[in-house]
A = this chain, B = another copy of it.
């Protein structure tokens, strides 16, 4: 299988190379960027001697002709435009941006503050939360790869939401992300001297991942779900932790809930549920495609605390994208994704 990567010089694109350069069945046919033509190892010297392919301009016709699948690691808005030109050309597309995730174009425009992709295209896009949408993904030609925060939050909430065990409007998600999520473009706010020895909250009640999470939760729950969602910057490069608070409808203890989660994720190699009393930390998934979950029900308050961690560039972006490509091509779901977390 031949893959093209568009938007290669960002962190998502770099991570796609790290995965696909060692993938047993998918090879990188071409890499594209709006920058000058040069070996990608000039942008990413760590690839020297490992992967020295030259970046080329984005020629959608040529890409569609030559590759079996294209990964769009481009920013929101750019992705949308590219999707429109790839769409009719019969090439499978996985878009890592937010442009295909919301089914409701007007919600997209409200939260993203620019025009949505046409509804006809949105309707074709499958939301690629691999563990919960496998059937649809198998048949998808156009895949909306989930956002980093939504992946962590949704995998943490799915078992109790689908089972309707919680008060639907009690959900509070306190999310924390490493800085690579902000991308590789220079900005004062992401300078080392600003973030080191710091911890910031941002986009309070305004993050564009809110409607993405709510859309999926509402689908699972059958009724509209509204959440409170906060995002913070952790001074680490990689890693997301979502600490999630929900009100249980009935009195369930931690052990029963853990059993429920283990069952829900049985057969899903990338979700690991911790045992009672143990919680995952972000470094325990660093560099890997795992989502680790721990939880605790508090009898004092009737609330459950769910902790879900991922590597934002892996399960939160490039890793899940490749997992979805594997599913779309009928490959083993873990192909190319067997890297063990880099600890310490």
A contacts, CB < 8 Å to B: 11, 14, 17-18, 21-22, 44-51, 169, 172, 174, 176, 178-180, 182, 184-188, 190-202, 204-205, 226-228, 230, 232, 234-239, 241, 243, 245, 269, 272, 274, 278-288, 292, 294, 296, 298, 300-301, 303, 305, 307, 338-344
Contact = CB atoms under 8 A, between A and B. Distances in A.
A283 B243 contact: no
B236 A198 contact: yes
A46 B198 contact: no
B234 A344 contact: no
Given A192-B192, A279-B202, A46 B340 contact: yes
Instruction: Count identical subunits in the complex.
Output: 4
A52 B45 CA distance: 35
A213 to B, nearest CB: 13
B199 A236 contact: yes
A190 B187 contact: no
Contact of A190 (B51, B193, B341, B343): B193
Nearest to A189: B186
Contact of A174 (B50, B174, B197, B279): B174
Contacts of A45: 274, 278, 280-281, 284
24 contacts: A45-B284, A46-B283, A48-B284, A48-B292, A49-B269, A169-B301, A174-B230, A174-B245, A176-B199, A180-B193, A186-B191, A190-B192, A192-B235, A194-B283, A196-B237, A196-B344, A197-B238, A197-B286, A199-B281, A200-B282, A201-B243, A228-B298, A234-B234, A245-B245
Name the residue among A192, A195, A340 with the largest chain B CB count within 10 angstroms: A192
Name the residue among A51, A179, A182 with the largest chain B CB count within 10 angstroms: A179
